[in-house]
Amino acid sequence: MKRITVIGLICYALFCTQNALCQESVGKMGDIKPTDKTGTAVVTRQAGATGTASSIAKKDSVLTQDIIQLGENTLASVTFDDGGYVKMRDGTRMEILSIDEIFLMDGHLFVNTKWHAKKGRRFQIKTKKVIAGTIGTEFYIFHSEACDSTVLAVFKGAVKLESADPSVVVQGTPLVVTAGQAVTVIQNSVTSFPQPSFNQIKSQAKSWHGAMGPKGFPVWGVVVPAVAVTGATAGLLLSSPERTEENTTASGTITVQIPPGN
């Protein structure tokens, strides 16, 4: 009997590995709201890139390999089993890799990982450009699939930012982004991409993720002017008001603007 059981477990493990069918529950869908009082909230999900899309509702389980896609007029949140959560803005698309890791394909996330700090675990948000790893913090991250660019701002704690493309960012060297700082990671071929300041990002993020709380619907009205980007400055740009520091690297210039008191 034991021998049969062991063989059965091995076969099951191989089946799961080869067919990617072993999805694990990591949390539940939280609030799902329209961005205005006349809109409708739409959330779809699929199991991996080849899965079939279906609707998902509040309190439904969220599984590994789920790709969650919000409609254009929808806000939603995901609460993980360990107490952490992410809030998604309309149009956002992300894949749940594990309870500790999300792949942000396109759109905006507000992330709270305070429970990871208590358990000594690292939480990661990946985009095509960067890997944002954090313990116990609040931050906002936006990835534009069209521009192949990522924006990140840290509200509390710190985020360790690493390149997903060492040829663009400083050869994969980690960069610690602390509270009050923002970073824009751009592609060398991009000629114009918004590089918002920390305060602009904070205003934008609060205008929509606050709608997931008791204060009602957001007002999205912050306009960020485009800033010309050349090969000489392509790479990492940290922006916050007041003081500016620059360091030239093989892959471009890192501009760090430090807020008062830092």
Q: Are 70 and 89 in contact (CB under 8 A)?
A: yes
Per-residue model confidence (pLDDT) at position 133: 85
pLDDT band at 170 (very low <50, low <70, confident <90, very high): very low
SS3 breakdown of the chain: % helix, strand, coil, rounded to 5?
15, 45, 40
Question: Do residues 123 and 116 lie in contact, with contact meaning Cβ atoms separated by under 8 Å?
Answer: yes
Task: Report d(CA 206, CA 73) in Å as an integer.
Answer: 17
Rama region for 167: left / alpha / beta (φ>0; ψ in -120 to 50; rest): alpha
pLDDT score of 168 = 46
Of the candidates 194, 137, 33, the residue with the CA atom closest to the CA atom of residue 125: 137
CA atoms within 13 A on the CB side of 155: 18
Cβ 85 vs Cβ 99: under 8 Å: no
Q: What is the pTM of this model?
A: 0.65
Q: For all residues of the chain together, what is the average pLDDT?
A: 67
pLDDT tens readout for residues 74-104 = 888 999 988 888 999 888 999 999 999 999 9
Q: Please give the domain boundaries of the chain with CATH numbers for all domains.
A: 25-258 (2.60.120.1440)
What is the pLDDT, as a whole number, of residue 254?
A: 36
Which residue bears the tokens 């099951």?
12
Average pLDDT of the residues in 9-24: 50
How far is 100 from 18, CA to CA, in rounded Å?
23
Read off the tokens for 158: 């710190």
Beta strand pairing call for 43-47 and 54-55: antiparallel
Mean pLDDT value across residues 166-184: 65
Task: Report the pLDDT value the prediction gives residue 104, as an integer from 0 to 100.
Answer: 95
What amino acid is encoded at 227 in this protein?
V
**Strands 66-70, 61-63: parallel, antiparallel or unpaired by DSSP?**
unpaired
